[in-house]
Homo-oligomer: A and B are copies of this chain.
């Protein structure tokens, strides 16, 4: 059955927004298994394309090689709190970490540049890449550079890929009823900081992106929670709303989100209200959603809060057997279903 989102047979901005339209595109085109070579992209005994996780996991001896890739087209390329280089490294390191692989072996970096791109800007971005790599304890071991004609690309696009070895893979689908959902910090900072720079009112805000590699933070959580950590996902495109929907759907559980427990900065809330955009549907670039067994929740929370990037970590919800695939917001006054941000077109947020 053809998804009605493809009614006009063209890829549109909504397919890059991180929500259900993007998942439909991946399911219908990239991971489509009904015709052609069966099992394309599958990893026997591991995690491959059909699982649509944060990356893939390939068994190698008694360990797993985890690999993940991301294209980065953020606009503007320098924004409050970061730039496209820091974003690229953080996005890739964090996707590895979300699979349980917190010690990246190496990253690759392929840059596409527009003819006329200032060398000074490239050097600044590269310096930022190096700093972010140092923070994450990794490096760029190989790369590629292509140049397109003026007008064929808006400035620069950077694709980074990361590899890591791990003895345990944490999938995004391991939730069971009774499990606890933790976020590692405030929600909405990256997406709202980017959108604030674009608003025509030129918002005067102190809000900065949270973009950072959080593999160190996640390492601490994994040490504290052990096998009690059952699912992880980073709430990037589509924000917390998309991450929770994806986890609920794949795990076949309902998730109850306690709205008041979700940490949100005052600056983020202010920008959110001015722009009319829910902080729960915009991207974060230095945060994780972690699903844990109830008995390790306190230990994991304590470990997160002991890390500089996890001070605002909080328990925000729990999993239920009812309403599988749905996210129910407990507002304090009642319950409503959390909707994904399909209508919100936020291209080039990352």
Contact = CB atoms under 8 A, between A and B. Distances in A.
Contacts of A154: 148, 152-153
Contacts of A146: 16, 71-73, 157, 348
Contacts of A108: 56, 67-69, 161
B68 A142 contact: yes
Contacts of A70: 110, 144
A233 B151 CA distance: 32
Given A40-B130, A115-B12, A117-B11, A71 B106 contact: no
Interface string A144-169: 11111100111001010101010000
Given A11-B115, A36-B127, A108-B67, A58 B147 contact: no
Interface residues of A, number: 78
In the complex, the count of this chain's copies comes to 2
Contacts of A306: none
A20 to B, nearest CB: 14
A273 interface: no
Contacts of A111: 71
Contacts of A9: 118-120
A7 B313 CA distance: 49
Interface stretch (A23-31, A247-255, A297-305): A23-31
Interface stretch (A133-141, A221-229, A278-286): A133-141
Interface string A87-125: 000000000000000000110111111011111101100
Interface in A55-71: 55-56, 58, 60-61, 65, 67-71
Contact of A163 (B10, B26, B153, B163): B163
A225 B122 CA distance: 42
Interface string A2-18: 00001001111101110
A253 to B, nearest CB: 24
6 contacts: A41-B140, A65-B65, A67-B108, A69-B142, A108-B161, A152-B154
The 7 tightest CB contacts between A and B, nearest first, are A16-B147, A56-B141, A159-B159, A69-B108, A161-B161, A152-B154, A71-B110
Interface of A: 6, 9-13, 15-17, 22, 25-26, 29-30, 36-37, 40-43, 48-49, 53, 55-56, 58, 60-61, 65, 67-73, 105-106, 108-113, 115-120, 122-123, 126-127, 130, 133-134, 139-149, 152-154, 157, 159, 161, 163, 165, 347-348
